[in-house]
Amino acid sequence: MTQDSRALAEEFDVPHALMERFVNRFSPKLVAPDSFRADADTMLFVHIPKTAGMSVGRSFQETFDIFRGVHWQDVVKSFRNQTREAIYLQSQGRARQVIMGHYGWPELQVWRNHEMPMKCGTILRDPVARTISNYHYNCSAAHPDNEGFRNRFPTLDAYVQQIPYDVQVTQALGMVCSFENVLTKLINHYTFLGVTEHLSASLAHLARSHGLPKPQEFRENIGKASEDEAPPADLIKHIEARCHNDRKLHSLLMRLYATN
């Protein structure tokens, strides 16, 4: 893999040693089975909106001994409550658990600040597809505040004009100052990264690398926009301009899973 990591380092403009560390830690092809296995532990799984969360959650309920969902209406309180219960059970060496929800980097620091070992994971999606999917979801009856959302953003163009920078990277890692910083923080804090476009392979890699039972894949709440709904090129360019590091990280992960 040395030649591959060197080529990737040149392509993504990062030092070869850093890319090699990243590839060795996250490539489904290179990570040995049971690399992150434990008799009792807790995975902190950052659920980025519109990245097959319902499907992944169903799979996790079958894979882990205990599934702990963080309530989206009160993320901070719910996460801390789930953390307290999880670490108490973990201290007894009795179960493998996962805490999944729309939390992010600030919540992960609760574990870091208390000097507890962290096994973190997340799944990313093509930024353009994720942005469009998120807009349509928020406009639909499935979202509790769909009427208010549609009043604020009557068109996809209005929504795209105000999307934050690097939504996925920021949720998973907080603020970053370079793509090298992205890779370094992931290496230091995460043990699993997947992509929705290779969902089966991602779930299989998680199970294999973490010594978990073979997962069952569910396909829930997964919709695809028709070609007639494709946004104009200038709108796509605007989304891409606000997702620089998201795009690079997703592209890199797609390369790793494509060669699996």
Each residue of 100-127: pLDDT tens digit? 999 999 999 999 999 999 999 999 999 9
Angle (nearest 5°) at CA 257 between 69 and 8: 120
Residues above pLDDT 70, as percent of the chain: 94
| Token representation of residue 88 | 């108490």
Q: Tell me how far apart the alpha carbons of residues 2 and 51 are, in angstroms, rounded to a whole number.
A: 31
**DSSP 8-state assignment for residue 102:** S
> 228, 208, 233: which is closest to 33 by C-alpha?
208
The predicted pLDDT at position 85 comes to 97
Q: DSSP string covering 190-252, please?
A: EEEEEEGGGHHHHHHHHHHHHT-PPPPP---S-----GGGPPPHHHHHHHHHT-HHHHHHHHH
Reported confidence tier of residue 223, pLDDT bands at 50, 70, 90? very low
The set of residues, in sequence order, having a beta carbon less than 8 Å from that of 44 and lying 6+ positions away, is 98, 99, 107, 108, 111, 118, 119, 120, 121
User: Do the beta carbons of residue 131 and residue 138 sit within 8 Å?
Assistant: no
Q: Are β-strands 96-101 and 190-195 bridged in parallel, bridged antiparallel, or unpaired?
A: unpaired
- Coil, helix or strand for 96? strand
Reported confidence tier of residue 2, pLDDT bands at 50, 70, 90:
low
Fill in the DSSP letter of residue 52. Answer: S
Is residue 76 pLDDT above 50, yes or no? yes
Please give the model's pTM, rounded to 2 decimal places.
Answer: 0.93
The helix or strand, by DSSP H or E, that contains position 23, with its residue range, turns out to be helix 16-26
